[in-house]
Structure 1
């Protein structure tokens, strides 16, 4: 029997919801491009309920305990994680509340065979160490890609239109129209570029196209010519080549050695003065203090996103108080809609692993001592 350790974020400060704003979720028939939705044998939850917090348990307890397995659920990413990891066979966590599986932790986890990301983005796992120790790493690819793309769209519009400060004027009882519009512009006609055009980046480009903007992208894998023609895309061989042309840049790349620290003082200095930077990918792709300096100097007109390092961010993290930001806690991919998909996908992965059947190739990041599936396409390792 397996021991499954699940590290999830805390319940809401007011307790688990007794009711929800909506009674149901829209029905999806599949993902763009034809990938099917998660296909577990069944689920033990109601779609649209809170599943990603500790009381939600990703809906896994009835399934696992009925088969004789042990499920341990915690929000403690330090003492409890270290104690329970020692003999865990499987670790599950979310990018929004990552259990950082460092090389030391993986080396000390004598039974660890599978690390699952309930969501997308497995950079909280030391992939080199997972490869070295034969740990399979899997994530629920595509489950919340559109959720994140929608958050990117919201962030762009909120920054460019100066929405958040304007809303605050209303909350404060004011009516300062001139003050609100003094930093408000139209998105129409702007040049907008994405760093990476995978599932999320391409979804952002498709949603931006009707806004009458000029679209740019850079990616290690160039998109098909027909997609470039359809969306009117301008391809650039690197971020350094692309960003001087853009009024808005959105980062949609995985974190790996080639992207870590990419947006530092040097690259930001080449951007248009007054450009906007959106980062819903990973915080360490942008240099923390370089972003603060750029906002304070006016080189950047705004920065938004929901990714931090570490997570949760400390109370004194400078991104909480820097000017002209639209930061949120890491929520972009954890809508109630997305939770239903990534909970179902997590169960599908567990069902495959527990029965010894192959895990979907698109879910795999590391397998059999090497990058595999989506991991081989998206990540690089240093070993």
Structure 2
């Protein structure tokens, strides 16, 4: 059996011995699979060489979003493929309809990066509200202008934070924000129970009301046909003037040009996140050079601890498949039986 892992490239693995989701470490699959007589290939190639490797692969393991985009054409050419595993959370880089239509199960490592992304949400909320990036830039530039840094620095306490999407990551974000004594609103397709709302310290609001009332909005929802460009020109205009937006969900949830214009005009006091569209973001992406941002590359869900959870989950999924057993249900994104 052949397993292909499409992972992050690493030009200097000696400097990054703890990065398991790279071609150098290969999620620690190589020795484990080879001792069982299976072929294992770790690659970051996205072109013809990758297509050659996929042609006879039964299992593909891929980090979220990049480097592999597994569309219908690639799926149709990978005739032996039976299982696709996302090494993390977020499988919208895979055409799941095409996969299940060709008898392929799609799985991901549920909850592997929930803590990591929730912590990154709080980090980026604070970075924006406290005006951290410009103040830090003063240090790099050899400046010392307290008035300039303080002019746009605020306390988070007493603010209203709106969380769009209250799944595992949104809920963990709420729990971490609760001690800051903020008012928290949330919008989700399915309302939480009163007990859950009390525990998390949140109150349900319709999306339009949340947008109008929030000083900070944190997007924590999956990308689907209804959430693409959710924060477009009109919705950004409906936000409080001078409010902040954090998006670690999916880059395509926000209209890139509309966000840039809102940051330039001051309608947004700041924008932060680690998800971009497309990924990797090109050098001329409008978010790279717009004012009032605290963007990072897409790494929030790849802390060392998250990668350890990912490695354990991928091994569990693969182990079940190799033993002829179903993938554990909590890892399954889509199966052929759903069609």
Q: What TM-score results when the alignment is normalised by the length of structure 1?
A: 0.86
Correspondence for 1:306: 274
User: For 1:207-356, what aligned pairs fall within 5 Å after superposition?
Assistant: 207-237=176-206, 239-356=207-324
Residues 132 and 369 in structure 1, CA contact (< 8 A), matched pair in contact too: no
Q: Judging changes above 3 Å, is the alpha-carbon distance between structure 1 residues 19 and 114 closer, same or farther for their aligned structure 2 residues?
A: closer
CA contact (8 A) 1:133 1:369 kept: no
Q: Aligned to 1:91, what secondary structure does the other structure show? A: strand
Distance of 2:264 and 2:120 partners within structure 1: 24
| Equivalence for 2:60 | 91
Candidates 60, 77, 81, aligned match of 1:108: 77
| Matched-pair contact (CA < 8 Å) for 1:96–1:330 | no
Q: 2:2 is matched with which residue?
A: 3
Contact 1:275 1:299 in 2 (8 A): yes
8 A Cα contact 1:352 1:359, kept in partner: yes
| Structure-2 separation of matches of 1:287 and 1:159 | 19
1:72 corresponds to 2:41: yes
Moved more, 351-360 or 57-66: 351-360
Aligned-residue offset at 1:132: 1.4
Are 1:217 and 1:233, in contact at CA under 8 Å, matched by a contact in 2?
Answer: yes
Contact 1:82 1:105 in 2 (8 A): yes
Q: What displacement does 1:18 show? A: 4.9
Following superposition, the deviation at residue 369 of structure 1 comes to 3.7
1:196 aligns to 2:195 (yes or no) = no
89-98 vs 310-319, greater mean Cα deviation: 89-98
d(CA) in 1 for partners of 2:209, 2:100:
34
**1: distance between equivalents of 2:306 and 2:201?**
30
Contact kept? 2:105, 2:336, Cα under 8 Å: yes
Whether the aligned pair in 2 keeps the contact of 1:305 and 1:326 (CA below 8 Å) is: yes
Give the RMSD, CA atoms, in angstroms: 1.5
In structure 2, what is the equivalent of residue 183 of structure 1? 152
Instruction: Tell me: higher relative CO, structure 1 or 2? Use CA pairs within 8 A at least 6 residues apart.
Output: 1
Partner residue in 2 for 1:128: 97
Equivalent-residue separation in structure 1 for 2:42 and 2:278 (angstroms)? 21
Counterparts of 1:290 and 1:254, CA distance in 2: 20
Q: Which runs of 5+ in 2 are unaligned?
A: none
- 1:241 CA displacement: 3.3
| Contact 2:131–2:149 (8 Å) recurs in 1 | yes
Matching of residue 205 in structure 1 with residue 174 in structure 2: yes
Shift of 1:6: 0.8
Structure-2-length-normalised TM-score:
0.96
1:167 counterpart = 2:167:
no
By percentage of residues, which structure has more helix?
A: 2
2:99, 2:164 → 1: CA distance? 27
Q: How far apart, in 2, do the equivalents of 1:103 and 1:200 lie?
A: 29
Contact 2:86 2:108 in 1 (8 A): yes
